[in-house]
Amino acid sequence: MKFHLILYCSIFSLSIMCPSSSATYPENDDKTPADPYEINSHLFPGINLGNALEAPDEGDWGVTIQDEYFRIIKEAGFQHVRIPIRWSAHAEVDSPYTVEINFTNRIKHVINVALAHDLFTVINIHHYEEICQNPSAHKDRFLTLWRQISMIFQDYPPELLFEILNEPHDNLTPDLWNQYFSAALEIIRQTNPSRTVIIGTANWGGIGALSALDIPEDEQNLIVTIHYYEPFQFTHQGAEWVAGSDAWLGTTWSASLNQVSEMKNHFNQIKAWADDQNRPIYIGEFGAYSRADINSRRLWTGYVVNLCRQYNFSWAYWEFCSGFGAYDRTTGAWNTQLLGALIQTP
């Protein structure tokens, strides 16, 4: 992979290998839109750095991103990282909705380290709950956040991708979401005409709202993302934030004929839509919570990865080192069964 970047090496830890000795990013003069299928081919295997920058404050949910994580992820065989970010918690409530400079600098640093480790990087707006509850009151703020993000990263290389909003839901209905993401995309294209952008579905990012997604025909440099957590009573058993989920504890996934058939049917639905619309697909989140038994988690994860490989869908496992995590940051070791399911040789 060839990067068009020059990094602020002096701000990195000594373990970071910087690709250039220059002190600034060069302008990205290539304004030719990328081939989204080519970009998508670099997004697997991938992993989410979850429960960190999408918390109200980094560290609130137990994870603070360390520079060494990117080396660990790359050495394990991953090719990209998805970094969920709660921009809305670090911007003014009222116009002009300015993002805090310290937060912006932190995001820059994390992205710089990821790119320095030859990892394609996806950033998004994550956990903007207010816009899902009261879309009209937050539309201008949402669009202004994207105006700022787009300007901040306009000269970054094409290995950085923008994902417009994680899991729009509730009052941000499929119809409204079509309007809002189109407006955000217009703003992004003013400063990032050639950057590949990722768009997800309404109704929590799943398959159900895929048919309602209305993408402008003249916008070709897009990847469509789907989140896959089916069957939910298996993947979220015992999840503390899901009411009643303790009743699901003990749910297994054994790759039975019915279970595999159900999963294949889901992926066939996605594939049929993608072929009809001529859009590349990114399974931007999938995972099973750690309170499920490890053998079931390994089997389920491996089947998802195999179907992604079969259909040329890219993917990012949820997530690196928290409740769904494949890596134990306390022991400094990967869960070998999960890692084996994720990093498969063709």
Summarize pLDDT for 237-277 with one digit per residue, the tens.
Answer: 999 999 999 999 999 999 999 999 999 999 999 999 999 99
Q: DSSP letter at 317?
A: B
Here the tokens at position 56 are 């109200």
Q: Within a domain: residue 334?
A: yes
- Condensed to tens digits (0 to 9), the pLDDT of residues 140-194 reads 999 999 999 999 999 999 999 999 999 999 999 999 999 999 999 999 999 999 9
Distances (CA, A) of 262 to 230, 231, 268, 277: 9, 9, 10, 23
Predicted confidence band at 34 (pLDDT cuts at 50, 70, 90)?
confident
In a domain, 4, yes or no: no
Task: For residue 213, give the nearest of 264, 268, 261, 165 by alpha carbon.
Answer: 165
Between CA 195 and CA 184 the distance in angstroms is 13
CATH number for 147:
3.20.20.80
Domain assignment present for residue 279? The answer is yes
Is 2 contained in some domain? no
What is the model's pTM?
A: 0.92
From 54, 163, 167, 230, the catalytic residue:
167
Q: According to the model, what pLDDT value does residue 218 have?
A: 92
Backbone angles phi, psi at 136, to 5 degrees: -65, -35
Q: What's the CA gap between 317 and 309, in Å, rounded?
A: 14
Residue 236 lies in a domain: yes
Q: Catalytic residue at 219? A: no
Q: Please report the pLDDT score of residue 33 as a whole number.
A: 77
Confidence check: pLDDT of 7 > 80 = no
Residue 1 placed within a domain: no
State which amino acid sits at residue 209: A
Please enumerate in sequence order all residues whose Cβ is within 8 A of that of 290, keeping only pairs 6 or more positions apart, or say none: 297, 323, 324, 325
User: For tokens 């769904």, what's the residue?
Assistant: 324
Return all residues near 74 (Cβ < 8 A) that are at least 6 apart.
Answer: 117, 118, 119
Query: What is the pLDDT of the chain when averaged over all its residues?
Result: 92
164, 197 contact by CB (below 8 A): yes
> What residues make up the domain containing 134?
9-342
φ/ψ bin of 93: left (φ > 0), alpha (ψ from -120 to 50), beta (otherwise): alpha
Q: Is 100 a catalytic residue?
A: no
Least confident of 22-26, 121-125, 332-336, 339-343: 22-26
Mean pLDDT of all residues in 126-143: 98
Locate 219 and state its tokens: 């916008």
Residue 20 pLDDT: 30
Q: Rounded mean pLDDT of 318-333?
A: 98
Distance CA 330, CA 346 (A): 31
Beta carbons within 10 angstroms of residue 232's beta carbon: 14
Comparing C-alpha atoms, which of 251, 260, 316 is closest to residue 289? 251
For residue 69, pLDDT over 80 is answered with: yes
CB of 80 within 8 A of CB of 120?
yes
CB 326 within 8 A of CB 342: yes
Q: Could you tell me if residue 298 is inside a domain?
A: yes
Domain assignment present for 333: yes
Report the sign of the C-alpha dihedral through residues 313, 232, 46, 220, in that order.
Answer: positive
Q: How many domains does one find in the chain? A: 1
Residue 15 reports pLDDT greater than 50: no
Q: Which of 159, 163, 285, 319 is catalytic?
A: 285
